[in-house]
Amino acid sequence: MKINRLYILLTVWAFTYGPDLHSQTPHSIDEMLVSTEWLAEQLSDSTLVILHFGMKSAYDQEHIPGARYVSIQEFMEEDEQGLRHELPEEAQIEKALRSLGIHNNSNIIICYEDVNAISRAARFYFTLDYAGLTDRVAILDGGLVAWKEESRPLSASEPVFAPGDVDIQMKEDVRILKKEVLANLHTDGVVIVDARPAERYYGTETDTNSPRQGHIEGAVSIPYFKLTGEGGSHLLKPEDELRKLFEEYKVQPETKIIVYCGSGIWASTVYFTAKYLGYNVQLYDGSLQEWGLDETLPISK
């Protein structure tokens, strides 16, 4: 009887406190933005995968312990029309994610090195959204800069990990194609957003992505860098300020937002922000590089 009682006690202890068992319990991420405090508390969780976006040379010097370096180029391709930064096929995305050691129960945290890497981090979020992994991914609010400002631990060691086995299911409704954008021009309840700098929107500065300058007819201008604080801040503006920015263009809870830029990178920051605010948003992956090639499609200055 004593042996059985001891066995039961040890079994309960192992189940409750055993690090291997405990760390395998998956938990979804409730927020699109997670705090440095939240991340610091999760560092020992074996389901956590931190992905670092920035310069490889800077990553080699310092990064969040356990963070894995990733290049957004692994998740984009040039298509048969010569359009750059397009979403790859499902098999290619899945292969790239597995090479990063991502599993079906992984919680993925995207960390951007500084304000210059925010758009690439947002583009990766969009790619994971397209891959059907939305409830397992978030962006670290403030990125590496915020982490360092709080004097949290850093590492120069590159982690070793085994290939993952993640399975993905594509969500085509997060992106929109050229013919669908055309069908939505001047449609009530639809706002098309140009995420490029205002000079490119008005056509006063050359955008090499397109032979024709200006913007998609009817689009409004919300430059991607207007979503972060003043002076090149690494933080998104407060939620009320972001919502006010969208509401200036009559964006309501039921509004459909279509966002584009030159080739689909800058637009991803607006896509992430609009989704963060709860709006119905789609990204036009072809963006102006595709629209501008078609002389039959309207462009305005």
Domain ranges (residues) in the chain: 19-149, 172-300
127-138: average pLDDT: 95
Q: Single out the residue of 121, 127, 119, 125 nearest to residue 224, CA to CA.
A: 119
236-239-244-247 Cα dihedral, nearest 10 degrees: 100
pLDDT for 6 beyond 60: no
Q: What share of the chain is helix, strand, coil (3-state, %, to 5)?
A: 40, 15, 45
- Record the tokens describing residue 126, joined without a space: 């969009």
pLDDT for 222 beyond 80: yes
11 pLDDT band, cuts 50/70/90, is: very low
30 pLDDT band, cuts 50/70/90, is: low
Average pLDDT taken over every residue of the chain: 89
CATH architecture of 172-300: 3-Layer(aba) Sandwich (3.40)
Cβ atoms of residues 68 and 49 within 8 Å: yes
pLDDT for 176 beyond 70: yes
Fold annotation for 19-149: Oxidized Rhodanese; domain 1 (3.40.250)
pLDDT digits (tens, 9 = 90+) for 73-116: 899 988 877 788 999 999 999 999 999 999 999 999 999 999 99
5 pLDDT band, cuts 50/70/90, is: very low
- Record the tokens describing residue 248, joined without a space: 């200036």
pLDDT score, position 17: 33
CA distance 291 to 181: 10
Cβ neighbors of 263 (< 8 A, separation 6 or more) are 83, 84, 85, 209, 287, 288, 289
